[in-house]
C-alpha cells in the first residue's frame, strides 16, 4: 500500500521548488531481491523560493546513508519524505549523496523498478521515481542524468538507460557494467532503465537534416520476428514529425523496449520508450488489423512525446493534458496522414469520435468528471483519463481549426521557440497559438476559449432552423448550455467552432451567403459560437435546406437538432462531409433504439428478447443502399452498419434499464441481419481478401466489412436454424491466412452461440497457447460473449481458475475481468447483482496487488446513479462495500468516494 494519507492536492497551491537538482549521478547494483541505488546529486537552493528545508519524496525504500558534501548529516523521515534541515548556507551548490535499497521482484504495482520475466524495467510517470530513490519527484525539477548500471552478465546481458552509451565493460564475479549519459535535461518521470535478456531489431537511418541515428526495438528472444511493423511505424513517425512540424530526432539512438507486464500502453522515457508488448508485437498470424493500427498510433504517440512532453514538459501534473492532449492530437493526425485517402481519413476521425463519445462523454457526465486541466486530485494516476487524453486532443484540434493548418504550425514553432527546455502550463500553449495567429478567432476569444481547459462537462449545442420561402432566407439559431459537474454548478459559454454546410432537399450542396455578404461563398464554413447564442441569416437560399452541422465533429459537444427522418436520410445519402453521413446513420439508429426502449407495447419473449419488429422499412432500405453502394469504401460501410454501442445508447437516457437497452440493440441487430441477408452474403463474397496480407487502411476496411457480414449471417442463421453460414464461418476460422479473418470468424461463431463455437475456441487455444497476446484475445472473447441465461459470469469465474489466468499480469486481468465488467453490459448488469458482487471482489483483490489497475476497474460502476432499480441500489451497495474497506489504496479510495459523493 501507499504510504502517506489521502489528501487532495490543489492546482492553485503550486509553488516553485525550494531547491533545484542540476545533476544526478545514479549507480545501480541490480538484483531482483535487493537492488542497491546510489544517488549523487548536485543541489542548490532556489533563490526565488522562501528558505525552507529540503523535502525529498520516497516510497518503499530502505535508507542506508545520507551524505552532504561527503560528510554525514542529520535528517528526519516524515510521512515518507526525507527531510534535511541542516544544509549549507547560501545559494552555492552542494553534493547530496543518498544510498538506498529496494526490492524489484516484490514490486507488483509495476511503478518504480520492477521485474517482468527476469528482466528489470522502470516506470516513473507519474510518481514512480520516488520508489527508486529519494528525490524532488515533480516535473518542474529538470536535471542532467548519468547512470551506471551493474548486473550479472549472464542474467542481464543487455543494460539500457536514457541517452548515449558512453562506456561498458566487464567486472569481477561474472558481472558487467554500462554507463549512459543523457545529453538533455529531463524531469525524473522520464528516467528509465532496462536490464535483462533481450534482443533487438536495428535500423540505421539518416534524418532529413542529414544526421545518422540508430533505431532499436528490444524484445524477448523469440519475438524478433514480430517487430517489423513497430520499426516501420517508428521510421514513419520520425519522417512525419520532420515533414509536418519540422521536428527532428535529437538523439543518436532511439530505443523501444517491450514488456508483457505494464500498467498502460507505453511510456515516452527519453530515448528509451518502454511499451506494453500489445503495442509492439505483431505478425499477420497473431495480430489483427486493429492491433496493427494501434501499434502504429502508439509508436507514433510515444515518439511524438519526444518534443511534446520531453523537450517541453509540464510544470505540474495538473498540466498533464499539455503533453497528452497535444500528443494524442499529433498521433491522430499522423494516423490520418498515413491512412491516405480522404475517405480513410474520415474513417479514422469517426473511430476517434466514437471513443470520445462512448468513453469520455460518460466520464464528463459522471462522478469523476474533471476539467482538461483539473483543479485538484488525490491520486494523479487516476487522472490519466479519456478527458485528459481524448478531450484534451479535441481542445487542441479546435485550436487547429480556429487558426488553420498553417497557423497551427506557426503556433507550434513559437511554442518551441519560447519554451524548449522548460516545464510549462496549458496557458503557455494556448498563448503561443494565439500570439502566432493574432488575427484568428482563437486570439480574439482566447479567454473564452480557455474555458475548455477549466470547465468540465460536455456542452450541448441546440440548433434551430427556420426557412422563409418569401425572402429565400434561412435563419439558423445556435444556443449552448453545459450541465453542472462536481464542484462546478454554473458554466460560462465556451468558444465553439461549428463547421457547417447546407444541403438542398435533393442533397446537392448550397453555396453559403450570410446576410451582408456580397456574394455566395464556399459550400462549407466554420462559424464560431462564443456566447450563449448566435443567429445566422443565410440569404439566397432557393428552398428549405437541410443543415449539416458540426462537420468533422468540429467541437466535442452534443448537438441537438430536430431532424426529420427524411432529413437524416438526405444527409446519409448525400452530405459531402463523410463524418456527418455516418453521424446521420447513428442518429437514425439512436432514435429507433430510444423509441423502442420506451415502448412498453413491444412484445418480449421468455428470455427478455424482443419479438416485435422495430426497424422501419426506410431505415432498412437506407442501410441496404449503403451496403451496396459502389462508391463508398468498405471501412466506411462497416462503420455505418454498426449500431451505436449499448454504452452510447444508455448515455442518451435519463434512467437506464441495462437489460432493456441490451435487448433492444440485439433485436435491431437481429432484424438487420435477417432483412439484409442476401446483401450480407453479397458483401461477404465481394470482400474476400486476395493476395498477400497487408495491414493498410483499404485492405483492413475490406476485412472489417467481410467480418461484419459474416457475423450478421451467423446471427441470421441462429434465428432461422440454417447451418450453412456457421459452417462457412468454421471453415474460415480454420483456413484463415491472418488473425483478422480468423478472429472475426471465431467471434461470429461465439456471438451467434452456435455449437461450433466450442470446438473453435478449443482449437484456437491449442494453436496459440504459447502466445500471451493471443491468449488474451481468447479470454476477452469469452468474457465478452452474449449472455444466455446468465452463463457468462460462471464462465468468467471458471476462466479465473484456468492455469493461464493471473490477476498479477495487467493484460490478462484486463482481458478477462475488464472485458466482463466494462465491455459486456448485458452480462454484467444482472438482476441478481452477482455481476456487481464479482466486481467488488476483484477490485479489492486487485487493489492489494496493483492499485493503479484496481482503480481503473473501480470505475466500471461510475454511472450507477443513472441505473433503474433494482440495479441502482445493488450497484451503490457494491461500491459502498468497497469503500468500507479500511486498507484501500488512495487510488481506489478516491474513485469510490467520488462515486458515492456525486450523485
Ligand atoms: N505518458 C504515457 C503516455 O501517454 C502513459 C503513462 C502515464 C503511463 N502513466 C503511466 C504508462 C504509468 C505506464 C504506467 O504515453
Ligand atoms: Zn502520452
* pLDDT tens string 212-262: 999 999 999 999 999 999 999 999 999 999 999 999 999 999 999 999 999
896 to each of 712, 855, 882, 891, how far by Cα in Å?
Answer: 39, 9, 7, 9
Q: Which ligand is nearest to the CA of 264?
A: 1
**Which residue lies with its CA nearest to atom 1 of ligand 1?**
267
Mean pLDDT in residue range 799-825: 98
302 has catalytic annotation: yes
Per-residue pLDDT tens over the stretch 249-302: 999 999 999 999 999 999 999 999 999 999 999 999 999 999 999 999 999 999
Q: Which ligand is nearest to the CA of 379?
A: 1
The predicted structure's pLDDT at residue 271: 98
The predicted structure's pLDDT at residue 802: 98
- Whether the per-residue pLDDT at 49 is higher than 70: the answer is yes
The predicted structure's pLDDT at residue 208: 87
Q: Are 428 and 321 in contact (CB under 8 A)?
A: no
The predicted structure's pLDDT at residue 616: 98
- pTM score of the predicted model: 0.98
**Which residue lies with its CA nearest to atom 7 of ligand 1?**
125
Mean pLDDT in residue range 663-685: 98
Per-residue pLDDT tens over the stretch 460-519: 999 999 999 999 999 999 999 999 999 999 999 999 999 999 999 999 999 999 999 999
Mean pLDDT in residue range 828-844: 98
Mutate to test the pocket of ligand 1, among 125, 301, 387, 393 (most ligand atoms within 8 A of CB): 125
The predicted structure's pLDDT at residue 608: 82
Mutate to test the pocket of ligand 1, among 110, 237, 266, 392 (most ligand atoms within 8 A of CB): 266
Give the residues surrounding ligand 1 with Cβ less than 6 Å away.
123, 125-126, 263-264, 266-268, 301-302, 324, 384
Q: Which atom of ligand 1 is nearest to the CA of 262?
A: 13
**CA-closest candidate to residue 478, choices 458, 464, 494, 457:** 464
Q: Which atom of ligand 1 is nearest to the CA of 268?
A: 15
For residue 408, report the distance from its CA to the centre of ligand 2, in Å. 20
The predicted structure's pLDDT at residue 2: 43
Q: Which ligand is nearest to the CA of 322?
A: 2
How many CB atoms sit inside 10 A of residue 307's CB?
23
Q: Which ligand is nearest to the CA of 259?
A: 1
- Whether the per-residue pLDDT at 3 is higher than 90: the answer is no
Mutate to test the pocket of ligand 1, among 108, 114, 256, 265 (most ligand atoms within 8 A of CB): 265
For residue 264, report the distance from its CA to the centre of ligand 1, in Å. 6
For residue 330, report the distance from its CA to the centre of ligand 2, in Å. 10
Distance CA 689, CA 832 (A): 45
For residue 593, report the distance from its CA to the centre of ligand 2, in Å. 36
- Whether the per-residue pLDDT at 187 is higher than 50: the answer is yes
**Which residue lies with its CA nearest to atom 3 of ligand 1?**
267
User: What does the mean pLDDT of the chain come to?
Assistant: 97
Output b/e per residue, 619-645; b: 16+ Cβ within 10 A.
bbebbbebbeeeebbbbbbbbbbbbbb
Helix/strand/coil for 194: strand
> Which string of DSSP letters, residue by residue, matches 285-299?
TT--HHHHHHHHHHH
Residue 604 pLDDT grade (very low, low, confident, very high; cuts 50, 70, 90): confident
Peptide bond into 51 cis (omega under 30): no
The predicted structure's pLDDT at residue 4: 47
**Which residue lies with its CA nearest to atom 10 of ligand 1?**
125
Peptide bond into 192 cis (omega under 30): no
Helix (H) or strand (E) holding 30: none
**Which residue lies with its CA nearest to atom 13 of ligand 1?**
264
Residue 5 pLDDT grade (very low, low, confident, very high; cuts 50, 70, 90): low
Distance CA 720, CA 488 (A): 53
Among residues 60, 302, 363, 394, which one is catalytic? 302
Mean pLDDT in residue range 565-581: 98
The predicted structure's pLDDT at residue 690: 74
Mean pLDDT in residue range 743-761: 97
Distance CA 745, CA 503 (A): 40
Residue 209 pLDDT grade (very low, low, confident, very high; cuts 50, 70, 90): confident
For residue 301, report the distance from its CA to the centre of ligand 1, in Å. 11
Mutate to test the pocket of ligand 1, among 264, 309, 377 (most ligand atoms within 8 A of CB): 264
Helix/strand/coil for 158: strand
- Whether the per-residue pLDDT at 694 is higher than 90: the answer is yes
Residue 1 pLDDT grade (very low, low, confident, very high; cuts 50, 70, 90): very low
Q: Which ligand is nearest to the CA of 328?
A: 2
Helix (H) or strand (E) holding 167: strand 164-171
**Which residue lies with its CA nearest to atom 5 of ligand 1?**
267
How many CB atoms sit inside 10 A of residue 421's CB?
12
Q: Are 353 and 553 in contact (CB under 8 A)?
A: yes
Q: Are 160 and 214 in contact (CB under 8 A)?
A: no
% of the chain surpassing 70 pLDDT: 99
Mean pLDDT in residue range 324-339: 98
Per-residue pLDDT tens over the stretch 98-123: 999 999 999 999 999 999 999 999 99
802 to each of 778, 779, 787, 824, how far by Cα in Å?
Answer: 12, 10, 20, 20
For residue 301, report the distance from its CA to the centre of ligand 2, in Å. 6
Residue 175 pLDDT grade (very low, low, confident, very high; cuts 50, 70, 90): very high
Q: What is the DSSP letter of 868?
A: P
For residue 118, report the distance from its CA to the centre of ligand 1, in Å. 22
For residue 256, report the distance from its CA to the centre of ligand 2, in Å. 15
Amino acid at each position: 500500500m501507499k504510504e502517506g494519507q489521502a489528501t487532495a492536492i490543489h492546482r492553485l497551491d503550486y509553488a516553485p521548488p525550494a531547491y533545484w537538482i542540476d545533476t544526478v549521478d545514479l549507480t545501480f547494483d541490480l538484483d531482483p531481491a535487493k537492488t542497491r541505488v546510489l544517488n549523487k546529486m548536485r543541489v542548490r537552493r532556489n533563490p526565488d523560493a522562501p528558505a525552507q528545508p529540503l523535502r525529498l519524496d520516497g516510497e518503499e525504500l530502505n535508507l542506508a546513508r545520507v551524505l552532504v558534501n561527503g560528510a554525514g548529516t542529520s535528517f528526519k523521515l516524515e510521512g515518507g519524505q526525507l527531510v534535511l534541515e541542516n544544509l549549507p548556507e547560501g545559494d552555492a551548490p552542494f553534493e547530496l549523496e543518498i544510498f538506498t535499497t529496494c526490492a524489484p521482484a516484490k514490486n507488483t504495482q509495476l511503478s518504480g523498478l520492477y521485474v517482468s520475466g527476469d528482466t528489470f524495467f522502470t516506470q516513473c510517470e507519474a510518481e514512480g521515481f520516488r520508489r527508486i530513490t529519494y528525490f524532488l519527484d515533480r516535473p518542474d525539477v529538470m536535471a542532467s542524468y548519468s547512470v551506471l548500471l551493474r548486473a550479472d552478465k549472464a542474467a542481464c546481458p543487455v543494460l539500457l538507460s536514457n541517452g548515449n552509451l558512453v562506456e561498458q565493460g566487464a567486472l569481477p564475479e561474472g558481472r558487467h557494467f554500462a554507463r549512459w549519459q543523457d545529453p538533455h535535461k529531463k524531469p525524473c518521470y522520464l528516467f528509465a532503465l532496462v536490464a535483462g535478456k533481450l534482443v533487438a531489431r536495428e535500423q540505421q537511418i539518416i534524418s532529413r537534416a542529414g544526421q545518422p541515428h540508430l533505431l532499436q526495438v528490444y524484445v524477448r528472444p523469440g519475438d524478433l520476428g514480430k517487430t517489423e511493423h513497430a520499426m516501420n511505424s517508428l521510421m514513419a513517425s520520425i519522417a512525419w514529425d520532420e515533414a509536418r512540424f519540422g521536428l527532428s530526432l535529437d538523439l543518436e539512438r532511439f530505443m523501444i523496449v517491450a514488456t508483457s507486464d505494464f500498467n498502460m500502453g507505453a511510456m515516452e522515457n527519453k530515448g528509451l520508450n518502454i511499451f506494453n508488448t500489445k503495442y509492439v508485437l505483431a505478425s499477420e498470424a497473431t495480430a489483427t488489423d486493429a492491433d496493427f493500427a494501434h501499434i502504429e498510433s502508439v509508436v507514433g504517440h510515444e515518439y511524438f512525446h519526444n518534443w511534446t512532453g520531453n523537450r517541453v514538459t509540464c510544470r505540474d501534473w495538473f498540466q498533464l493534458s499539455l503533453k497528452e492532449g497535444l500528443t494524442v492530437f499529433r498521433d491522430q493526425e499522423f494516423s490520418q496522414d498515413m491512412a491516405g485517402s480522404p475517405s480513410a481519413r474520415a474513417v479514422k476521425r469517426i473511430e476517434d469520435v466514437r471513443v470520445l463519445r462512448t468513453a469520455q462523454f460518460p466520464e464528463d457526465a459522471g462522478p469523476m468528471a474533471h476539467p482538461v486541466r483539473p483543479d485538484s486530485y488525490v491520486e494523479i494516476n487516476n487522472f490519466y483519463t479519456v478527458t485528459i487524453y481524448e478531450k484534451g486532443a479535441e481542445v487542441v484540434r479546435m485550436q487547429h481549426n480556429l487558426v488553420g493548418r498553417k497557423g497551427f504550425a506557426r503556433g507550434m514553432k513559437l511554442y518551441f521557440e519560447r519554451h524548449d527546455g522548460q516545464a510549462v502550463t496549458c496557458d503557455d500553449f494556448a498563448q503561443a497559438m494565439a500570439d502566432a495567429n493574432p488575427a484568428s478567432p482563437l486570439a480574439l476569444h482566447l479567454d473564452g476559449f480557455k474555458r475548455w481547459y477549466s470547465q468540465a462537462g460536455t456542452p450541448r449545442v441546440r440548433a434551430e432552423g427556420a426557412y422563409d420561402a418569401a425572402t429565400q432566407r434561412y435563419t439558423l439559431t445556435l444556443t449552448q448550455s453545459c450541465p453542472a459537474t462536481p464542484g462546478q454548478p454554473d458554466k460560462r459559454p465556451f468558444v465553439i467552432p461549428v463547421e457547417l454546410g447546407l444541403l438542398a432537399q435533393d442533397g446537392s450542396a448550397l453555396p453559403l451567403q450570410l446576410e451582408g455578404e456580397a456574394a455566395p461563398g464556399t459550400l462549407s464554413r466554420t462559424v464560431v459560437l462564443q456566447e450563449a447564442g448566435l443567429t445566422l441569416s443565410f440569404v439566397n437560399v432557393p428552398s428549405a435546406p437541410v443543415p449539416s452541422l458540426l462537420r468533422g465533429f468540429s467541437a466535442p459537444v452534443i448537438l441537438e437538432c430536430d431532424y426529420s427522418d427524411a432529413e437524416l436520410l438526405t444527409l446519409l445519402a448525400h452530405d459531402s462531409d463523410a463524418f456527418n453521413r455516418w453521424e446521420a446513420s447513428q442518429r437514425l439508429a439512436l432514435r429507433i433504439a430510444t423509441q423502442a426502449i420506451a415502448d412498453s407495447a413491444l412484445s418480449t419473449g421468455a428470455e427478455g428478447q424482443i419479438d416485435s419488429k422495430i426497424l422501419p422499412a426506410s431505415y432498412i432500405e437506407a442501410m441496404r443502399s449503403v451496403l451496396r453502394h459502389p462508391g463508398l469504401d468498405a471501412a466506411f460501410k462497416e462503420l455505418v452498419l454498426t449500431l451505436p454501442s449499448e454504452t452510447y445508447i444508455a448515455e442518451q437516457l435519463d434512467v437506464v434499464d441495462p437489460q432493456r437497452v441490451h435487448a433492444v440493440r440485439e433485436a435491431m441487430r437481429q432484424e438487420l441481419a435477417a432483412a439484409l441477408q442476401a446483401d450480407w452474403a453479397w458483401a461477404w463474397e465481394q470482400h474476400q481478401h486476395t493476395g498477400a496480407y497487408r495491414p493498410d487502411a483499404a485492405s483492413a476496411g475490406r476485412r472489417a466489412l467481410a467480418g461484419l457480414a459474416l457475423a450478421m449471417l451467423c446471427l441470421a442463421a441462429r434465428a432461422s436454424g440454417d447451418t450453412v453460414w456457421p459452417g462457412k464461418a468454421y471453415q474460415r476460422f480454420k483456413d484463415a491466412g491472418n488473425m483478422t479473418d480468423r478472429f472475426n470468424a471465431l467471434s461470429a461463431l461465439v456471438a451467434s452461440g452456435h455449437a461450433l463455437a466450442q470446438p473453435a475456441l478449443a482449437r484456437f487455444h491449442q494453436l496459440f497457447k504459447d502466445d500471451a497476446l493471443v491468449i488474451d484475445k481468447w479470454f476477452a472473447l469469452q468474457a465478452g460473449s452474449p449472455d444466455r441465461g446468465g452463463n457468462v459470469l460462471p464462465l468468467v469465474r471458471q476462466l479465473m481458475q484456468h492455469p493461464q489466468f493471473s490477476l498479477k499480469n495487467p493484460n490478462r486481468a484486463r482481458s478477462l475481468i475488464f472485458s466482463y465488467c466494462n465491455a459486456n453490459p448485458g452480462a454484467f448488469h444482472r438482476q441478481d447483482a452477482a455481476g456487481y458482487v464479482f466486481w467488488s471482489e476483484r477490485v479489492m483483490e486487485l487493489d492489494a496487488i496493483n492499485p493503479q489497475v484496481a482503480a481503473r476497474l473501480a470505475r466500471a460502476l461510475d454511472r450507477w446513479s443513472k441505473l433503474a432499480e433494482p440495479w441502482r441500489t445493488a450497484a451503490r451497495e457494491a461500491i459502498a462495500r468497497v469503500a468500507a474497506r479500511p486498507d484501500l489504496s488512495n487510488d481506489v479510495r478516491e474513485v469510490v468516494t467520488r462515486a458515492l459523493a456525486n450523485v
